[in-house]
Amino acid sequence: MDNKHRFGIQAAATLLQNANFKGFFQGGIYSGPVKQVCVPGLNCYSCPGAVGACPIGSLQSFLDARTFRLPYYVVGLLIFFGALLGRAVCGFLCPFGWIQELIGLIPVKKRNRFRLDPSLRWVKYGVLAVLVIGLPLGLKLVPYFCKYLCPSGTLAGWMLAARDSILRSQLGALFTWKSAVLIAVITASLFIWRPFCKYLCPLGAIYGLFNRVSLVRMELDRDRCVGCGACAGVCRMCVDPSREPNSAECIRCGDCVRTCPMQALQLGVRPMKKTSGDGKHTNKSKTNRG
């Protein structure tokens, strides 16, 4: 699958998750029965077009309630999406990830590899542990990630404020702070590919934990791999697929698969065919034998 097909899937997924088109013109928020269903990607509940709920926002709504309720439904969906797709959700189905990619199309020189990059990758796990889980559990009634950091929610706020003069008059210092965060993410997206996904997104942190076990996964045929480094050189998430094909950072964009001159990488739902010593191809999957 080339980038054009992936781009089309991202666009379709964004439209489907924001199919309440009249909300963009009327400034209202859809509140029908479908809104109780979590979508797989980061898409703010308050977006005028949103027809579903954000899994991170839903998780916090359970954790910061006056009476603790174990979020079986939300956790179950996160496990389902993670076990099925891993971070392919980020690469194909996340609206805010797609927005960052759109910004990244602006022809500005990108610098994805720099000294602090490996350390910054850990920040998203801190965001997950502290803002999404820890503080909402300990200090009730405040969805900390949504309130203080989420740029997707701020983008939704911009859309609503553009239509509602009364709402604009009520915006204060907190919204100014969140707008500054969103502007910083937009600016960073000009120079770094999907910076929010790399460094801050708690949803990406969750799905990344499933990359090694998810049904959709990357397979490396080490018999074919010649160690040329082409796959690592093209990866905009700064992963080396020849060493760690199922890294928690991989969003399954497929750039490495298309670039490999030896066709040693394969992205899919089944183990790839391996080259045996006699030059013939064998398949590790029992379901494909015979």
| Residue with token string 């790839």 | 272
Q: Could you give the CA distance from residue 231 to residue 242 in angstroms, rounded to a whole number?
A: 7
pLDDT computed for residue 121 by the predictor:
97
Supply 90's token pair. 């980020």
What residues does each domain of the chain span?
3-208, 217-288
pLDDT computed for residue 270 by the predictor:
64
Task: Determine which helix (DSSP H) or strand (DSSP E) holds 187, and give its type and residue range.
Answer: helix 173-191
Nearest to 210 by CA among 88, 82, 90, 41: 82
pTM (2 d.p.): 0.89
End-to-end CA distance of the chain: 28
Contact between 95 and 14 under an 8 Å Cβ cutoff? The reply is yes
pLDDT computed for residue 3 by the predictor:
76
pLDDT computed for residue 207 by the predictor:
98
CATH number of 217-288: 3.30.70.20
Nearest to 208 by CA among 247, 257, 254, 252: 247
Give the start-end residues of each E strand in the chain.
217-220, 265-268, 273-275, 281-283
| Side chain identity, residue 208 | G
Supply 57's token pair. 């926002």
| Side chain identity, residue 28 | G
Radius of gyration of the chain (CA): 20
Contact between 212 and 87 under an 8 Å Cβ cutoff? The reply is no
Residue 60: DSSP 8-state = H
pLDDT computed for residue 282 by the predictor:
43
How confident is the prediction along the chain (290 residues), in pLDDT tens digits per residue? 677 799 999 999 999 999 999 988 887 899 999 999 999 999 999 899 999 999 999 999 888 887 777 889 999 999 999 999 999 999 999 999 999 999 999 999 999 999 999 999 999 999 999 999 999 988 888 899 999 999 999 998 898 888 888 888 888 999 999 999 999 999 999 999 999 999 999 999 999 999 999 999 999 999 999 999 999 999 999 999 999 999 999 999 999 999 999 999 999 986 544 444 343 444 443 333 33
